[in-house]
Amino acid sequence: MANPISKQELQAIRTHYESGVTKPYAFRMQQLRLLRQAVLKYEEPISAALYQDLKKSPEEVYGSETGLLLTSLNMALKNLRQWMMPQRAKTDLINLPSSCRIYKDPLGVVFIISPWNYPLQLLLIPLVGAISAGNCAVLKPSELAPATAAIIEKIILEIYPPEYIKVIQGEGATVVPAALELFRFDHIFYTGSISVGKIIYQLAADKLVPVTLELGGKSPTIIEADADLKIAARRIALGKFLNAGQTCVAPDYLLVHESVKQKFLDLFQQTIRQFFGEDALNSYSYGKIINTHRFDILSGYLSQGKICIGGHKERSALFIAPTVIEAVPLDAPIMTEEIFGPILPIFGFQNKEEALAIIQKNPYPLAFYVFTTDTQKEKAWMEAVPFGGGCVNNTNWQFANPYLPFGGIGASGMGAYHGKYSFDTFTHRKPVMKTPTWFDPNIKYPPFNGKLKWLKLFIK
User: Out of 9, 65, 143, 214, which one is annotated catalytic?
Assistant: 214
Q: Which helix (H) or strand (E) holds 81?
A: helix 67-84
Distance of CA 447 to the CA centre of its chain: 55
Answer whether 356's CB lies under 8 Å from 343's CB: no
* 60 counts as catalytic: no
Cα 42 from Cα 37, distance rounded (Å): 9
Cα 433 from Cα 440, distance rounded (Å): 15
Closest-CA residue to 166 (of 182, 53, 67): 182
Closest-CA residue to 114 (of 156, 57, 152): 152
Cα 335 from Cα 343, distance rounded (Å): 11
Alpha helices in 208-305 (DSSP H): 229-241, 261-276, 292-301
Closest-CA residue to 50 (of 292, 126, 59, 272): 59
Residues whose CB is less than 8 angstroms from the CB of residue 218 and which lie 6 or more positions away in sequence, other chains included: 252, 253, 335, 338, 362, 365
Cα 322 from Cα 238, distance rounded (Å): 11
* 100 counts as catalytic: no
User: Out of 143, 224, 248, 391, which one is annotated catalytic?
Assistant: 248
Please report the DSSP string for 307-344 in residue order.
Answer: EEE---EEGGGTEE--EEEES--TTSGGGTS---SSEE
Catalytic positions, written as ranges: 214, 248
